[in-house]
């Protein structure tokens, strides 16, 4: 793929944005692993105390962390769900936290697209487009 990047603009753009986002990937991985461990332990504790029959689904913390990773990545597995409403709400909270961090990874790619295409649109507070020659546009923010 690296050699193809020399010949195709879109692959080169993706590789540049991946290189720029390497620290973001590291941060996202840490958030994903930490989030899975914390929420997996919480789901394990809640399911064990609330519903004793849930020991079949969540016999240990590892299975709970695995379930949390399945929930976060939206893979899903119908036979592997929390039986209590509180466990389901905690799974939703884990998904929400990771989905909030996800745009951190996509922003460098969008930034690269804007720089490459030189297509910058300025907008005011109301979201209306401001022409580039307007005196309100004083400088271009570089990333």
**Could you tell me the domains of the chain?**
4-130 (1.10.287.70)
d(CA 102, CA 111): 15
What's the pLDDT at 91?
80
Under-50 pLDDT residues of the chain: 139-143
Q: Kindly state the greatest CA–CA separation across the chain.
A: 68
**Reported pTM:** 0.54
Would the CA dihedral through 7, 11, 16, 18 be positive or negative?
negative
Residue 130: phi, psi to the nearest 5?
-110, 130
Provide the angle, in degrees to the nearest 10, between the axes of the packed helices 85-101 and 103-117. 30
CB 68 within 8 Å of CB 94 = yes
Percent helix, strand and coil across the chain, each to the nearest 5? 65, 5, 35
């Amino acid at each position: 793929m690296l050699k193809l990047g020399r010949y195709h603009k879109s692959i080169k753009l993706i590789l540049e944005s991946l290189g720029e986002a390497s620290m973001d990937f590291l941060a996202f991985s840490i958030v994903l692993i930490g989030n899975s461990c914390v929420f997996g332990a919480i789901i394990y504790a809640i399911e064990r105390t609330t519903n004793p029959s849930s020991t079949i689904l969540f016999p240990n913390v590892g299975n709970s962390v695995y379930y949390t990773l399945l929930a976060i990545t939206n893979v899903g597995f119908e036979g592997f769900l929390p039986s209590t409403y509180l466990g389901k709400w905690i799974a939703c909270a884990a998904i929400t936290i990771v989905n909030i961090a996800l745009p951190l990874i996509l922003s460098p790619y969008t930034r690269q697209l804007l720089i490459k295409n030189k297509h910058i649109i300025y907008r005011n507070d109301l979201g209306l487009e401001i022409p580039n020659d307007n005196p309100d546009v004083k400088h271009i923010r570089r990333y």
